[in-house]
Structures are given as C-alpha cells and as structure tokens.
C-alpha cells in the first residue's frame, strides 16, 4: 500500500523556536517501509534562501521599545509565532490575552499537547485586559487578513464587544496579505489609523517571519523524503510552477510532477499516479431553492443589475405607427434619456418602407449605440409592435 506525505505549512530554519518539537524523524521513518511516497508541499512564493533569525526576533525588539498597549494580529494556526509572542511578552513583563475564537481554541489545544509553553502568571482573560496598565499588555488576535468577522476587523470598525482602540495603541499585523485580501486588509489598517492607532504591517518593518518554506528549505525536505512524485499545492499558478521547477532540478522526473487545476482528479494505484477524469467544479448559483447551472442566466442577471431594462410598445394601424410608449427600470437619468430615445425611434418609424422585423432591428441598434456612447453599456431592450 502506498502512502503520501502532506507537509502543509512548515519551515526548517535551524533558528526556528520550536524546531526541537518538529518530529522530522517520523518523516524519515516513513521511508523505511519502501512504499511509494507522493509528496505534497506548500511553498513560500519565489523567495530564495531560508528564514533569518533577525526577522524572527525583530518583533520582540519593537515590543521592548513600545510604551503603549500592543495588539498583534496573526494566523491562529501559526504555533511558532504564537509561542514567540508569548515569550516576548514574558521577557518584557507584559500580560497577554487572546481575542478570537479560532486563536483561543488553537492555543488551548497546543498548550494541552505541549506545543505551546505559556506561564500561567502572564495569561489574563480578555475582559480583564482593560484593567491592566496599557504598557503592560499584549493582546494577540485574529484578523490579519481583514476577515469580516475576525477580532481585529471588528475592532477597527468599533464593533468588538470587549475592546476598543485607545489612541496610541500599537497594532502589529504579523502576516502578509493573501492575494485577494489586499483591499480588506488595507481598509482595516485605514480604520485603525482613523481611531488613533499606530499600525505596523508588511513592508514597514520586518515583523512578519513567514511560516512557509523557502527554496533552500524545500530542497532540504525533498532530499529528506526523496519522493517518487511531487504535487505542488497552495498559492497561485506561478508559485506551483516554481515549485515544480525546483522538484525537477532536484532530480524528480518531469512525468512524476503534477501541477493540478481545480477539478483535476489524481488516481493513485499499484501502477503509479495519474490524472483521471476531471470532476465538475466551479461556482454554484442558487435562485431561491433552485440550483442554476446556466451561464446565460447569470450573464442576464448581471446585465440587468448593471444596465437596466427598456420596454418599448408601439401600435400599428394600417400603415401608420402611433402610441409610442416606453417603460424603463434601472436606467440612469430616465426622463431625459427616454425623451431622446423617443426621437430616435420616431425617425425609424417614419420610414414606412421597412417591414416590422427590420424596424425592430434598427431601433435596437440605435438604442444600443446611444447608451454605449453615453454610458459604455446597454440595457435589455424589449420591443413590441402591436397590429390593430
């Protein structure tokens, strides 16, 4: 039976605080069975080298220099970083409190399992933090990615139940924004500044030591495991590409490296690893209780929301058009625009040599041009010519 190793988030820097607790021997023991070991790993962008000790310790120096309350937002899953902040609090004679359900839950489990060492005398309930001198307090919280319901985000909006920003607070955001989260992170930072906080984030000072492996650490892991297969995961395609190139340089055959896309199914058998039939994937749209699997339906809804609707009714008696009536929904400046549209339509109707089909086509084309030239969009147009 084959086995696989998923490294998840890791780095192997010799100076990493809890390296002694990383059971690398158990990884090596997996190789003793002689089984095939497909390898799945996370990768730290295109960064070369390995983690720098000064980068890891930098936040401790910033804490020592601060005479205000300190709030630190980080990933709740980064045990090493949580431990480092706890040790920094201990060394600087500060109390520490946790804010955020996932962070509290992770810390509780990690302490129970021995992965975090937390002196009882420095831990305080969050509710008591406001009673401690501000220069003696560190609050560790969630929200480094601007998540809507996370502690730091709520705090920035004035919606936190137990905390509020005190002018002069120093807020460290100890994480780099994940692609796609930049706007929400920036908004959180702006709101914190407005409330009088000093915010230190990625690019200002080296307060974020990445939990992802660098190239040299990835090489070390590949040499350690000597995998038969490599399946890069996590990050954008460029990250997967560089990871695959690294595996190739380390001697893994190209045919044994799989860069997968959403919906790709990997099939592992006694014959090896291969990509199987693609699984249907993507967005699922629900309209009331009905699941919608029609791209045209979604496109129509988006166009309706963006551009509105124009309903045109004209009566035709013998060879004369009359009673031009226009109704609109969602149009910009409807009164003025409908007046101009009526003039456009009337010009087309005055040409009695055209049949109804050609008239509808020309009216639609002229209205399309009118709105596109004015607003770079066009509403849904419905034209009904009633014969009397």
| Token couple for 300 | 């129509």
CB atoms within 10 A of CB 297: 12
Of the candidates 211, 140, 144, the one whose C-alpha atom is nearest the C-alpha of residue 182 is 144
Q: How far is CA 179 from CA 9, 185, 209, in A?
A: 17, 11, 18
CA separation for the pair 194, 206 (Å, rounded): 24
Please state which CATH number belongs to domain 295-387.
3.10.20.580
Domain ranges of the chain: 5-49+211-275, 53-200, 295-387
- HSE-up of 292 (CA within 13 Å, CB side)? 13
The rounded distance, in Å, linking the Cα atoms of 6 and 42 is 9
Give the C-alpha separation, 186 to 117, whole Å. 33
Token pair 């920036």 is found at 186
Q: How high is the pLDDT of residue 208? A: 43
SS3 of residue 131 by DSSP? helix
Rounded to 5 degrees, what angle do the CA atoms 51, 231, 49 make?
20
Q: How many CB atoms lie within 10 A of CB 348?
A: 19
* Lookup: tokens for 1: 């039976």
What tens-digit pLDDT sequence spans the chain (388 residues)? Answer: 456 666 655 555 544 444 444 555 565 565 555 444 555 555 444 444 434 445 456 777 888 888 899 999 999 988 888 998 999 999 999 999 999 999 999 999 999 999 999 999 999 999 999 899 989 999 999 999 999 999 999 999 999 999 999 999 999 998 888 888 999 999 999 999 999 899 988 755 544 445 556 677 788 888 877 888 888 887 777 778 888 888 888 899 999 999 888 889 989 888 888 889 998 887 777 877 777 776 777 788 888 888 889 999 988 887 788 888 888 888 878 888 888 888 888 888 887 677 888 888 999 999 989 888 888 778 889 998 888 7
Map tokens 């010799």 to a residue: 14
What's the pLDDT score for residue 12?
55
Asked whether the beta carbons of 198 and 171 are under 8 A apart, the reply is: yes
Long-range contacts from 330-334, C-beta under 8 angstroms, 24+ separation = 330/304, 330/305, 330/379, 331/379, 332/308, 332/375
The CATH number of the structural domain formed by 53-200 is: 3.40.50.10710
Provide the 8-state DSSP code for 123.
B
- Which CATH superfamily is 5-49+211-275 part of? Ribonuclease Z/Hydroxyacylglutathione hydrolase-like (3.60.15.10)
Q: At what angle do helices 53-65 and 79-91 cross, to 10 degrees?
A: 40
**Residue 258's closest CA among 234, 275, 278?**
275
Q: How far apart are CA 359 and CA 324, in angstroms?
A: 14
- The closest alpha carbon to 125, from 163, 156, 154, belongs to 163
Identify which of 230, 210, 180 has the alpha carbon closest to the alpha carbon of residue 41. Answer: 230
234 CB-side CA count, 13 A: 15
């Amino acid at each position: 039976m084959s086995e696989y190793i998923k490294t998840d988030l890791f780095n192997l820097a010799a100076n990493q605080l809890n390296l002694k607790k990383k059971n690398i021997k158990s990884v090596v023991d997996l190789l003793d069975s002689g089984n095939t070991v497909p390898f799945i790993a996370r990768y730290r962008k295109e960064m070369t080298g390995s983690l720098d000790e000064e980068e890891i310790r930098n936040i401790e120096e910033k804490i020592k220099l601060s005479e205000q309350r300190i709030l630190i937002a980080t990933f709740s899953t980064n045990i090493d970083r949580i431990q480092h902040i706890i040790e920094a609090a201990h060394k600087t004679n500060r109390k520490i409190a946790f804010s955020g359900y996932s962070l509290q839950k992770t810390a509780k489990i990690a302490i129970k399992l021995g992965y975090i060492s937390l002196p009882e005398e420095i831990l305080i309930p969050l509710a008591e933090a406001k009673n401690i001198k501000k220069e003696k307090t560190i609050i560790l919280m969630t929200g480094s990615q601007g998540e809507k319901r996370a502690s730091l985000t709520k705090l920035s909006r004035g919606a936190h139940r137990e905390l509020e920003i005190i002018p002069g607070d120093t807020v460290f955001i100890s994480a780099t924004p994940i692609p796609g989260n930049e706007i929400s992170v920036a908004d959180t930072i702006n709101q914190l500044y407005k409330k009088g906080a000093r915010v230190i984030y990625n690019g200002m000072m080296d307060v974020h030591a990445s939990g992802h492996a660098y190239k040299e650490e990835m090489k070390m892991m590949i040499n350690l495991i000597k995998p038969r297969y490599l399946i890069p995961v996590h990050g954008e395609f460029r990250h997967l590409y560089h990871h695959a190139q690294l595996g190739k340089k380390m001697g893994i055959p190209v045919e044994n490296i799989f860069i997968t896309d959403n919906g790709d199914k990997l099939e592992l058998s006694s014959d090896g690893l291969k990509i199987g039939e693609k699984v249907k994937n993507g967005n699922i749209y629900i309209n009331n209780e009905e699941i919608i699997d029609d791209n045209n339906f979604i496109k129509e809804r988006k166009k309706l929301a963006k551009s509105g609707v124009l309903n045109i009714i004209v009566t035709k008696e013998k060879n004369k058009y009359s009673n031009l009536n226009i109704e609109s929904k969602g149009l910009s400046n409807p009164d003025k625009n409908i007046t101009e549209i009526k003039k456009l339509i009337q010009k087309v109707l005055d040409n009695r040599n055209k049949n109804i089909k050609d008239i509808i086509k020309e009216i639609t084309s002229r209205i399309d041009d009118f709105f596109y030239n004015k607003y770079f969009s066009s509403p849904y147009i419905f034209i009904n010519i009633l014969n009397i």
